[in-house]
Structure 1
Protein backbone atom coordinates (compact mmCIF):
# COMPACT_ATOMS: atom_id res chain seq x y z
CA UNK A 1 0.00 0.00 0.00
CA UNK A 2 1.51 3.39 -0.97
CA UNK A 3 2.46 5.77 1.79
CA UNK A 4 0.01 8.52 2.65
CA UNK A 5 1.39 11.95 1.69
CA UNK A 6 0.61 14.55 4.33
CA UNK A 7 1.46 18.24 4.09
CA UNK A 8 -0.36 19.69 7.10
CA UNK A 9 1.12 19.45 10.62
CA UNK A 10 -2.22 18.96 12.39
CA UNK A 11 -3.11 16.03 10.14
CA UNK A 12 0.29 14.46 10.74
CA UNK A 13 0.11 14.81 14.51
CA UNK A 14 -3.40 13.32 14.55
CA UNK A 15 -2.28 10.33 12.49
CA UNK A 16 0.73 9.66 14.74
CA UNK A 17 -1.25 10.09 17.96
CA UNK A 18 -3.82 7.61 16.69
CA UNK A 19 -1.07 5.02 16.26
CA UNK A 20 0.36 5.82 19.69
CA UNK A 21 -3.03 5.28 21.31
CA UNK A 22 -3.11 1.84 19.68
CA UNK A 23 0.24 1.03 21.32
CA UNK A 24 2.20 1.13 18.08
CA UNK A 25 5.93 1.87 18.04
CA UNK A 26 6.49 4.93 15.84
CA UNK A 27 9.69 5.56 13.90
CA UNK A 28 10.81 8.80 12.27
CA UNK A 29 13.29 9.30 9.41
CA UNK A 30 13.90 13.04 8.78
CA UNK A 31 15.35 13.87 5.34
CA UNK A 32 15.70 16.76 2.93
CA UNK A 33 14.73 14.54 0.01
CA UNK A 34 16.93 13.80 -3.04
CA UNK A 35 16.94 10.32 -1.59
CA UNK A 36 19.73 7.81 -2.20
CA UNK A 37 20.72 4.44 -0.77
CA UNK A 38 22.05 6.10 2.37
CA UNK A 39 18.61 7.52 3.19
CA UNK A 40 16.95 4.28 2.17
CA UNK A 41 19.14 2.33 4.59
CA UNK A 42 17.60 4.43 7.38
CA UNK A 43 14.13 3.74 6.02
CA UNK A 44 14.84 0.01 5.85
CA UNK A 45 16.07 -0.01 9.45
CA UNK A 46 13.09 2.01 10.65
CA UNK A 47 10.47 -0.10 8.91
CA UNK A 48 12.06 -3.25 10.31
CA UNK A 49 12.01 -1.96 13.89
CA UNK A 50 8.92 0.24 14.12
CA UNK A 51 5.23 -0.51 13.63
CA UNK A 52 4.53 2.84 11.98
CA UNK A 53 7.10 4.75 9.91
CA UNK A 54 7.06 8.45 9.06
CA UNK A 55 9.59 9.84 6.56
CA UNK A 56 9.82 13.61 6.32
CA UNK A 57 10.97 15.43 3.19
CA UNK A 58 11.70 19.08 3.80
CA UNK A 59 14.55 21.24 2.53
CA UNK A 60 15.00 23.37 5.61
CA UNK A 61 15.96 26.94 4.67
CA UNK A 62 17.08 27.96 8.16
CA UNK A 63 20.14 25.67 8.05
CA UNK A 64 21.49 27.25 4.84
CA UNK A 65 23.56 30.43 4.77
CA UNK A 66 22.76 32.98 2.03
CA UNK A 67 25.86 31.90 0.09
CA UNK A 68 25.00 28.18 0.19
CA UNK A 69 23.10 25.94 -2.20
CA UNK A 70 19.50 26.22 -0.95
CA UNK A 71 18.11 27.26 -4.34
CA UNK A 72 19.86 24.52 -6.32
CA UNK A 73 19.51 21.74 -3.76
CA UNK A 74 17.89 18.85 -5.70
CA UNK A 75 14.14 18.45 -5.20
CA UNK A 76 12.02 15.71 -6.79
CA UNK A 77 9.18 14.67 -4.51
CA UNK A 78 7.60 12.32 -7.04
CA UNK A 79 10.86 10.37 -7.41
CA UNK A 80 11.42 10.30 -3.65
CA UNK A 81 7.92 8.97 -2.95
CA UNK A 82 8.37 6.28 -5.62
CA UNK A 83 11.58 5.14 -3.90
CA UNK A 84 9.90 5.11 -0.50
CA UNK A 85 6.98 3.06 -1.80
CA UNK A 86 9.38 0.12 -2.20
CA UNK A 87 9.31 -0.04 1.63
CA UNK A 88 6.41 -0.30 4.08
CA UNK A 89 6.46 3.43 4.84
CA UNK A 90 3.17 4.63 6.31
CA UNK A 91 3.42 8.41 5.95
CA UNK A 92 5.51 10.84 3.94
CA UNK A 93 5.36 14.32 5.46
CA UNK A 94 6.21 16.92 2.81
CA UNK A 95 5.30 20.36 4.15
CA UNK A 96 5.89 23.73 2.54
CA UNK A 97 8.26 26.30 4.00
CA UNK A 98 5.27 28.46 4.87
CA UNK A 99 3.74 25.58 6.81
CA UNK A 100 6.87 24.91 8.83
CA UNK A 101 7.70 28.58 9.37
CA UNK A 102 4.46 30.59 9.39
CA UNK A 103 4.64 34.34 9.03
CA UNK A 104 5.95 35.86 12.24
CA UNK A 105 7.70 32.69 13.45
CA UNK A 106 10.77 33.78 15.41
CA UNK A 107 11.58 31.02 17.91
CA UNK A 108 14.74 29.00 17.44
CA UNK A 109 16.84 26.50 19.38
CA UNK A 110 20.22 27.51 20.74
CA UNK A 111 22.23 24.37 19.91
CA UNK A 112 24.46 22.58 22.44
CA UNK A 113 28.20 23.02 22.92
CA UNK A 114 29.14 20.31 20.41
CA UNK A 115 27.78 22.62 17.70
CA UNK A 116 30.45 25.29 18.18
CA UNK A 117 33.45 23.69 16.44
CA UNK A 118 34.08 22.35 12.92
CA UNK A 119 30.84 22.95 10.98
CA UNK A 120 29.75 25.39 13.67
CA UNK A 121 32.78 27.63 13.09
CA UNK A 122 32.38 27.62 9.32
CA UNK A 123 28.57 27.77 9.21
CA UNK A 124 27.59 29.71 12.35
CA UNK A 125 23.80 29.55 11.90
CA UNK A 126 23.65 26.02 10.54
CA UNK A 127 23.08 23.99 13.68
CA UNK A 128 20.54 26.43 15.10
CA UNK A 129 18.54 25.76 11.95
CA UNK A 130 19.06 22.00 12.23
CA UNK A 131 18.16 21.84 15.92
CA UNK A 132 15.07 24.00 15.41
CA UNK A 133 13.62 21.99 12.54
CA UNK A 134 14.40 18.65 14.18
CA UNK A 135 12.73 19.74 17.41
CA UNK A 136 9.69 20.83 15.39
CA UNK A 137 9.60 17.43 13.70
CA UNK A 138 9.87 15.68 17.06
CA UNK A 139 6.85 17.73 18.19
CA UNK A 140 4.83 16.81 15.10
CA UNK A 141 5.93 13.16 15.15
CA UNK A 142 6.14 12.09 18.80
CA UNK A 143 8.14 9.06 17.75
CA UNK A 144 9.63 6.37 19.93
CA UNK A 145 12.79 6.27 17.81
CA UNK A 146 14.37 8.48 15.14
CA UNK A 147 16.99 7.50 12.56
CA UNK A 148 19.94 9.60 11.40
CA UNK A 149 22.99 8.83 9.29
CA UNK A 150 26.57 8.82 10.59
CA UNK A 151 27.77 10.81 7.57
CA UNK A 152 26.46 13.97 9.25
CA UNK A 153 28.27 12.97 12.43
CA UNK A 154 28.39 16.36 14.14
CA UNK A 155 24.69 16.76 13.43
CA UNK A 156 24.00 13.49 15.25
CA UNK A 157 25.95 14.74 18.25
CA UNK A 158 24.01 18.03 18.24
CA UNK A 159 20.68 16.23 18.09
CA UNK A 160 21.76 13.66 20.66
CA UNK A 161 22.73 16.35 23.15
CA UNK A 162 19.52 18.28 22.43
CA UNK A 163 17.49 15.14 23.19
CA UNK A 164 19.40 14.70 26.45
CA UNK A 165 19.37 18.34 27.53
CA UNK A 166 15.68 18.95 26.78
CA UNK A 167 14.53 15.55 28.12
CA UNK A 168 12.91 14.67 24.81
CA UNK A 169 11.12 11.30 24.93
CA UNK A 170 12.65 9.94 21.72
CA UNK A 171 15.53 7.55 21.12
CA UNK A 172 18.04 8.27 18.36
CA UNK A 173 19.60 5.54 16.24
CA UNK A 174 22.71 6.50 14.25
CA UNK A 175 23.12 4.28 11.19
CA UNK A 176 26.37 3.57 9.30
CA UNK A 177 27.56 5.52 6.28
CA UNK A 178 26.64 3.91 2.96
CA UNK A 179 29.42 4.11 0.37
CA UNK A 180 29.93 3.51 -3.31
CA UNK A 181 32.17 0.58 -4.23
CA UNK A 182 35.13 2.99 -4.53
CA UNK A 183 34.57 4.39 -1.03
CA UNK A 184 32.79 7.66 -1.81
CA UNK A 185 30.14 8.37 0.82
CA UNK A 186 26.69 8.69 -0.69
CA UNK A 187 25.41 12.26 -0.66
CA UNK A 188 22.68 14.18 -2.46
CA UNK A 189 25.37 16.69 -3.41
CA UNK A 190 27.33 14.06 -5.35
CA UNK A 191 24.92 14.87 -8.18
CA UNK A 192 26.76 18.19 -8.61
CA UNK A 193 30.06 16.45 -9.50
CA UNK A 194 31.33 16.02 -13.03
CA UNK A 195 32.75 12.63 -14.00
CA UNK A 196 36.29 13.85 -13.34
CA UNK A 197 35.32 15.48 -10.05
CA UNK A 198 33.52 12.30 -9.01
CA UNK A 199 36.80 10.40 -9.41
CA UNK A 200 38.73 13.11 -7.57
CA UNK A 201 36.26 13.06 -4.69
CA UNK A 202 37.21 9.51 -3.73
CA UNK A 203 40.42 10.93 -2.25
CA UNK A 204 38.46 12.13 0.78
CA UNK A 205 37.41 8.67 1.93
CA UNK A 206 40.81 7.31 0.88
CA UNK A 207 42.55 9.85 3.14
CA UNK A 208 40.30 9.02 6.08
CA UNK A 209 40.69 5.27 5.78
CA UNK A 210 44.46 5.68 5.38
CA UNK A 211 44.54 7.28 8.82
CA UNK A 212 42.53 4.43 10.29
CA UNK A 213 44.94 1.96 8.71
CA UNK A 214 47.96 3.77 10.13
CA UNK A 215 46.35 3.80 13.56
CA UNK A 216 45.64 0.07 13.30
CA UNK A 217 49.36 -0.37 12.53
CA UNK A 218 50.31 1.41 15.74
CA UNK A 219 50.58 5.15 14.91
CA UNK A 220 48.68 7.35 17.36
CA UNK A 221 50.27 10.80 16.96
CA UNK A 222 47.48 13.03 15.67
CA UNK A 223 49.83 15.46 13.94
CA UNK A 224 51.50 12.71 11.91
CA UNK A 225 48.20 11.09 11.04
CA UNK A 226 46.69 14.37 9.85
CA UNK A 227 49.79 15.06 7.75
CA UNK A 228 49.22 11.74 5.99
CA UNK A 229 45.56 12.56 5.33
CA UNK A 230 46.36 16.02 3.99
CA UNK A 231 49.04 14.59 1.71
CA UNK A 232 46.55 12.18 0.19
CA UNK A 233 44.19 15.07 -0.50
CA UNK A 234 47.00 17.17 -1.97
CA UNK A 235 48.02 14.30 -4.25
CA UNK A 236 44.47 14.36 -5.64
CA UNK A 237 44.66 18.16 -6.14
CA UNK A 238 42.08 18.77 -3.43
CA UNK A 239 43.39 22.06 -2.14
CA UNK A 240 40.32 23.72 -0.62
CA UNK A 241 40.02 22.00 2.74
CA UNK A 242 37.69 23.31 5.41
CA UNK A 243 39.01 20.84 7.96
CA UNK A 244 40.47 17.42 8.51
CA UNK A 245 40.29 16.81 12.25
CA UNK A 246 40.89 14.07 14.78
CA UNK A 247 38.53 14.66 17.69
CA UNK A 248 36.96 12.87 20.62
CA UNK A 249 33.79 11.24 19.29
CA UNK A 250 31.67 12.55 22.18
CA UNK A 251 32.96 16.07 22.85
CA UNK A 252 34.35 16.75 19.34
CA UNK A 253 37.39 18.34 20.95
CA UNK A 254 40.73 17.86 19.13
CA UNK A 255 43.04 15.14 20.40
CA UNK A 256 46.82 14.98 20.36
CA UNK A 257 46.97 11.22 20.82
CA UNK A 258 44.47 9.09 18.96
CA UNK A 259 42.64 6.28 20.78
CA UNK A 260 39.57 4.13 20.26
CA UNK A 261 37.29 7.06 21.23
CA UNK A 262 38.55 9.21 18.35
CA UNK A 263 36.77 10.04 15.12
CA UNK A 264 38.32 11.56 11.99
CA UNK A 265 36.17 14.10 10.16
CA UNK A 266 36.80 15.89 6.89
CA UNK A 267 35.14 18.63 4.85
CA UNK A 268 36.58 19.59 1.47
CA UNK A 269 35.60 21.19 -1.80
CA UNK A 270 35.81 19.34 -5.09
CA UNK A 271 35.21 22.05 -7.63
CA UNK A 272 32.42 24.10 -6.08
CA UNK A 273 30.86 21.12 -4.30
CA UNK A 274 31.39 20.76 -0.58
CA UNK A 275 31.69 17.17 0.64
CA UNK A 276 31.89 15.82 4.17
CA UNK A 277 32.86 12.38 5.45
CA UNK A 278 34.10 10.69 8.60
CA UNK A 279 35.59 7.46 9.89
CA UNK A 280 35.42 6.11 13.42
CA UNK A 281 38.92 5.05 14.41
CA UNK A 282 37.55 1.97 16.22
Structure 2
Protein backbone atom coordinates (compact mmCIF):
# COMPACT_ATOMS: atom_id res chain seq x y z
CA UNK A 1 0.00 0.00 0.00
CA UNK A 2 1.46 3.35 -1.03
CA UNK A 3 1.13 5.77 1.87
CA UNK A 4 4.24 7.76 0.97
CA UNK A 5 3.69 11.53 0.81
CA UNK A 6 7.31 12.50 0.29
CA UNK A 7 7.49 15.24 -2.32
CA UNK A 8 3.90 16.28 -1.66
CA UNK A 9 2.86 19.65 -0.26
CA UNK A 10 -0.16 20.03 2.02
CA UNK A 11 -2.14 23.05 3.23
CA UNK A 12 -4.01 22.37 6.48
CA UNK A 13 -6.62 24.78 7.82
CA UNK A 14 -7.40 25.34 11.49
CA UNK A 15 -4.18 23.55 12.31
CA UNK A 16 -3.26 25.04 15.68
CA UNK A 17 -5.41 22.65 17.70
CA UNK A 18 -7.61 19.57 17.68
CA UNK A 19 -8.17 17.61 14.48
CA UNK A 20 -6.44 20.18 12.27
CA UNK A 21 -3.25 20.02 14.33
CA UNK A 22 -3.36 16.22 14.47
CA UNK A 23 -3.87 16.04 10.69
CA UNK A 24 -0.88 18.28 10.04
CA UNK A 25 1.29 16.13 12.30
CA UNK A 26 0.14 12.91 10.62
CA UNK A 27 0.71 14.25 7.09
CA UNK A 28 4.23 15.31 8.04
CA UNK A 29 4.93 11.84 9.46
CA UNK A 30 3.99 10.39 6.06
CA UNK A 31 6.52 12.69 4.43
CA UNK A 32 4.47 15.68 3.27
CA UNK A 33 5.73 19.23 3.48
CA UNK A 34 3.02 20.98 5.48
CA UNK A 35 1.83 24.57 5.53
CA UNK A 36 -0.36 25.43 8.50
CA UNK A 37 -3.16 28.00 8.18
CA UNK A 38 -4.76 29.72 11.17
CA UNK A 39 -5.10 33.18 12.71
CA UNK A 40 -2.90 32.86 15.82
CA UNK A 41 0.74 33.21 14.80
CA UNK A 42 2.14 32.17 18.16
CA UNK A 43 0.19 28.91 18.12
CA UNK A 44 1.17 28.35 14.49
CA UNK A 45 4.83 28.59 15.44
CA UNK A 46 4.28 26.15 18.28
CA UNK A 47 2.65 23.51 16.05
CA UNK A 48 5.25 24.09 13.33
CA UNK A 49 7.92 22.99 15.81
CA UNK A 50 6.04 19.71 16.37
CA UNK A 51 6.03 18.63 12.72
CA UNK A 52 8.30 15.81 11.63
CA UNK A 53 11.21 16.85 9.39
CA UNK A 54 13.08 13.54 9.13
CA UNK A 55 12.25 13.23 5.42
CA UNK A 56 13.83 16.54 4.53
CA UNK A 57 10.75 18.74 4.77
CA UNK A 58 10.77 22.45 5.50
CA UNK A 59 7.35 23.34 6.84
CA UNK A 60 5.64 26.75 6.71
CA UNK A 61 2.63 28.61 8.04
CA UNK A 62 0.16 31.24 6.85
CA UNK A 63 -1.56 33.67 9.21
CA UNK A 64 -5.17 34.11 8.04
CA UNK A 65 -8.58 34.61 9.64
CA UNK A 66 -11.24 32.26 8.28
CA UNK A 67 -13.96 34.80 9.01
CA UNK A 68 -12.57 36.74 6.03
CA UNK A 69 -12.55 34.45 2.94
CA UNK A 70 -11.16 37.16 0.68
CA UNK A 71 -8.19 37.69 2.95
CA UNK A 72 -7.63 33.92 3.15
CA UNK A 73 -7.58 33.62 -0.63
CA UNK A 74 -5.16 36.54 -0.92
CA UNK A 75 -2.83 35.05 1.67
CA UNK A 76 -2.82 31.64 -0.03
CA UNK A 77 -2.36 33.17 -3.50
CA UNK A 78 0.65 35.10 -2.23
CA UNK A 79 1.99 31.88 -0.73
CA UNK A 80 1.52 30.04 -4.04
CA UNK A 81 3.49 32.68 -5.90
CA UNK A 82 6.42 31.58 -3.77
CA UNK A 83 5.85 27.86 -3.37
CA UNK A 84 3.65 27.01 -6.42
CA UNK A 85 3.02 23.27 -5.95
CA UNK A 86 0.12 22.15 -3.74
CA UNK A 87 -0.99 18.53 -3.78
CA UNK A 88 -3.19 18.37 -0.66
CA UNK A 89 -5.76 20.70 0.90
CA UNK A 90 -7.39 19.95 4.24
CA UNK A 91 -10.33 22.27 4.85
CA UNK A 92 -10.99 22.59 8.56
CA UNK A 93 -12.69 25.37 10.52
CA UNK A 94 -14.23 25.40 13.99
CA UNK A 95 -18.01 25.17 14.14
CA UNK A 96 -20.44 27.88 15.26
CA UNK A 97 -21.92 28.09 18.76
CA UNK A 98 -24.71 25.66 19.54
CA UNK A 99 -28.36 26.54 19.81
CA UNK A 100 -31.83 25.67 18.55
CA UNK A 101 -32.47 26.32 14.87
CA UNK A 102 -35.68 28.22 15.60
CA UNK A 103 -33.75 30.77 17.66
CA UNK A 104 -30.96 31.38 15.12
CA UNK A 105 -30.62 34.84 13.60
CA UNK A 106 -29.88 35.40 9.88
CA UNK A 107 -26.40 36.79 10.55
CA UNK A 108 -25.43 33.53 12.30
CA UNK A 109 -26.10 31.63 9.08
CA UNK A 110 -24.26 34.23 7.00
CA UNK A 111 -21.16 34.18 9.19
CA UNK A 112 -21.03 30.39 9.34
CA UNK A 113 -21.54 30.18 5.57
CA UNK A 114 -18.58 32.53 5.13
CA UNK A 115 -16.38 30.64 7.59
CA UNK A 116 -17.02 27.26 6.03
CA UNK A 117 -18.35 27.05 2.50
CA UNK A 118 -16.97 30.33 1.13
CA UNK A 119 -13.59 29.74 2.72
CA UNK A 120 -13.44 26.26 1.26
CA UNK A 121 -14.36 27.63 -2.15
CA UNK A 122 -11.70 30.34 -1.96
CA UNK A 123 -9.00 27.86 -1.01
CA UNK A 124 -10.03 25.36 -3.67
CA UNK A 125 -9.99 28.02 -6.37
CA UNK A 126 -6.49 29.01 -5.26
CA UNK A 127 -4.96 25.51 -5.27
CA UNK A 128 -6.81 23.48 -7.93
CA UNK A 129 -4.87 24.98 -10.87
CA UNK A 130 -1.68 23.67 -9.25
CA UNK A 131 -3.26 20.26 -8.64
CA UNK A 132 -4.40 20.03 -12.27
CA UNK A 133 -0.90 20.83 -13.50
CA UNK A 134 0.61 18.22 -11.19
CA UNK A 135 -2.00 15.57 -11.99
CA UNK A 136 -2.40 14.87 -8.28
CA UNK A 137 -4.82 16.45 -5.85
CA UNK A 138 -6.43 15.52 -2.55
CA UNK A 139 -9.07 17.77 -1.00
CA UNK A 140 -10.36 16.61 2.37
CA UNK A 141 -13.05 18.54 4.22
CA UNK A 142 -13.43 17.94 7.94
CA UNK A 143 -17.14 18.39 8.59
CA UNK A 144 -19.38 16.50 11.07
CA UNK A 145 -21.59 13.43 11.35
CA UNK A 146 -24.48 15.91 11.30
CA UNK A 147 -24.19 15.58 7.50
CA UNK A 148 -25.78 12.14 7.88
CA UNK A 149 -27.77 12.63 11.07
CA UNK A 150 -28.56 16.14 12.41
CA UNK A 151 -27.39 16.78 15.95
CA UNK A 152 -29.93 18.30 18.33
CA UNK A 153 -28.85 21.72 19.56
CA UNK A 154 -26.59 22.49 16.60
CA UNK A 155 -29.13 24.06 14.25
CA UNK A 156 -26.90 26.47 12.33
CA UNK A 157 -24.03 24.01 12.17
CA UNK A 158 -26.27 21.20 10.85
CA UNK A 159 -27.57 23.48 8.11
CA UNK A 160 -24.24 24.78 6.86
CA UNK A 161 -22.40 21.47 7.24
CA UNK A 162 -24.99 19.91 4.96
CA UNK A 163 -24.35 22.61 2.37
CA UNK A 164 -20.61 21.98 2.54
CA UNK A 165 -21.15 18.25 1.96
CA UNK A 166 -23.24 18.95 -1.15
CA UNK A 167 -20.62 21.43 -2.37
CA UNK A 168 -17.90 18.82 -1.94
CA UNK A 169 -19.84 16.09 -3.74
CA UNK A 170 -20.49 18.40 -6.67
CA UNK A 171 -16.83 19.40 -6.81
CA UNK A 172 -15.76 15.74 -6.81
CA UNK A 173 -17.82 15.20 -9.98
CA UNK A 174 -16.22 18.16 -11.71
CA UNK A 175 -12.52 17.66 -11.04
CA UNK A 176 -12.04 13.92 -10.52
CA UNK A 177 -10.85 13.46 -14.09
CA UNK A 178 -7.79 15.59 -13.32
CA UNK A 179 -6.52 13.17 -10.69
CA UNK A 180 -8.04 15.24 -7.88
CA UNK A 181 -10.25 13.61 -5.27
CA UNK A 182 -12.65 15.40 -2.92
CA UNK A 183 -13.80 13.67 0.25
CA UNK A 184 -15.37 14.54 3.59
CA UNK A 185 -14.32 13.19 6.98
CA UNK A 186 -17.15 13.32 9.51
CA UNK A 187 -15.91 13.28 13.11
CA UNK A 188 -18.29 12.23 15.84
CA UNK A 189 -17.64 13.09 19.49
CA UNK A 190 -13.90 13.73 19.58
CA UNK A 191 -11.67 14.83 22.45
CA UNK A 192 -11.28 18.48 21.40
CA UNK A 193 -12.10 21.93 22.74
CA UNK A 194 -15.35 21.71 20.78
CA UNK A 195 -16.41 18.64 22.79
CA UNK A 196 -15.52 20.39 26.04
CA UNK A 197 -17.80 23.27 25.06
CA UNK A 198 -20.59 20.85 24.14
CA UNK A 199 -20.30 19.05 27.47
CA UNK A 200 -20.45 22.35 29.36
CA UNK A 201 -23.58 23.46 27.47
CA UNK A 202 -25.36 20.14 28.01
CA UNK A 203 -24.39 20.02 31.66
CA UNK A 204 -25.82 23.49 32.26
CA UNK A 205 -29.05 22.62 30.44
CA UNK A 206 -29.54 19.31 32.23
CA UNK A 207 -28.30 20.19 35.71
CA UNK A 208 -25.86 17.29 35.56
CA UNK A 209 -22.09 17.48 35.93
CA UNK A 210 -19.91 17.50 32.84
CA UNK A 211 -18.54 14.12 33.89
CA UNK A 212 -22.05 12.67 34.03
CA UNK A 213 -22.88 14.09 30.60
CA UNK A 214 -19.63 12.72 29.16
CA UNK A 215 -20.36 9.26 30.55
CA UNK A 216 -23.86 9.31 29.09
CA UNK A 217 -22.65 10.38 25.66
CA UNK A 218 -19.88 7.79 25.63
CA UNK A 219 -22.41 5.06 26.41
CA UNK A 220 -24.25 5.97 23.18
CA UNK A 221 -21.14 5.12 21.13
CA UNK A 222 -20.73 1.42 20.20
CA UNK A 223 -17.00 1.45 21.01
CA UNK A 224 -17.83 3.02 24.38
CA UNK A 225 -15.58 6.09 24.20
CA UNK A 226 -14.86 9.33 22.36
CA UNK A 227 -12.46 9.38 19.42
CA UNK A 228 -9.09 11.06 19.70
CA UNK A 229 -7.98 13.78 17.26
CA UNK A 230 -5.22 11.43 16.12
CA UNK A 231 -7.74 8.76 15.11
CA UNK A 232 -9.65 11.24 12.96
CA UNK A 233 -6.36 12.53 11.54
CA UNK A 234 -5.42 9.00 10.47
CA UNK A 235 -8.51 8.89 8.24
CA UNK A 236 -7.73 12.34 6.85
CA UNK A 237 -4.14 11.38 6.07
CA UNK A 238 -5.09 8.10 4.37
CA UNK A 239 -7.45 9.91 2.01
CA UNK A 240 -4.52 12.13 1.01
CA UNK A 241 -2.25 9.25 -0.02
CA UNK A 242 -1.72 7.61 -3.42
CA UNK A 243 -3.42 4.51 -2.01
CA UNK A 244 -6.74 6.39 -1.85
CA UNK A 245 -6.73 7.43 -5.52
CA UNK A 246 -10.09 5.82 -6.33
CA UNK A 247 -11.91 7.05 -3.23
CA UNK A 248 -13.80 10.14 -4.35
CA UNK A 249 -16.93 12.00 -3.28
CA UNK A 250 -17.57 10.13 -0.03
CA UNK A 251 -18.64 11.05 3.50
CA UNK A 252 -16.53 9.03 5.95
CA UNK A 253 -17.78 9.01 9.56
CA UNK A 254 -15.13 8.56 12.24
CA UNK A 255 -17.47 8.23 15.20
CA UNK A 256 -17.07 4.80 16.74
CA UNK A 257 -20.24 3.65 14.98
CA UNK A 258 -22.63 6.11 16.63
CA UNK A 259 -24.26 7.50 13.49
CA UNK A 260 -27.52 5.66 12.92
CA UNK A 261 -27.58 5.90 9.12
CA UNK A 262 -25.47 3.96 6.61
TM above 0.5:
no
TM-score (norm 2): 0.44
Q: Which has the higher contact order (CA 8 A, sep 6+)?
A: 2
TM-score (norm 1): 0.41
